Structure 1
Amino acid sequence: MKEGKIQSVRLKKHLKNGKQVSMGYGFIEFDSVETATRVCSDLQGTILDGNALILQLCHAKKDEQAVKNVEKDKSTTKLLVRNVASEATEKDLRQLFSPFG
């Protein structure tokens, strides 16, 4: 089922009790718009460590109008992954998304 290639996986973290833990969101970038769009659709709501992931195509914030047009513009290769469990790692995300890239 591999369609594209994962370019990067970044999980935002913070220090809690001396340990790096997930802040609940991260980013995954693919090599094509088609792969990113398909993954966003196919894996929406997938459970990872007990949490249903929320996926959204990601766009650079240029201005308020750009934010309003996020749903209209599907020309990005990066996904915002929200509702990530604090125990989740970048490796977990990479494994989950690896069938697509």
Structure 2
Amino acid sequence: MDRFAHKGAVLAVNTSFLDVDAIAQATTCPYGVRGLHFFSPAHVMKLLEVVRGRDTRPEVMATGMALGKRLRKLPRVRQTYAMWTSWTACVRRIA
């Protein structure tokens, strides 16, 4: 990641399957990585998960929230390190 983005860039991961922290480890700036999960179909669904990684800085989360509002979504912070849909999928597999 560091070859393609300048130091201090924010990476917004749009996946509900991969762990945000696992992706953050691929960069020297894990504090700039967060998840943005748009629910499907994205053009209809208003909910947007803004997912905090273990090292994600507050200002990086704030930019995710601001982007969600700008896109007319309802951004909600997830304190866990993986997105809600991946957690629910895990629970379904275990049950």
TM-score normalised by length of structure 2: 0.32
> Greater relative contact order: 1 or 2 (C-alpha under 8 angstroms, separation 6 or more)?
1
Structure with greater proportional helix content: 2
Under a length normalisation based on structure 1, what TM-score does the superposition of the two structures give? Answer: 0.30
Q: Between Structure 1 and Structure 2, which shows a larger proportion of strand residues? A: 1
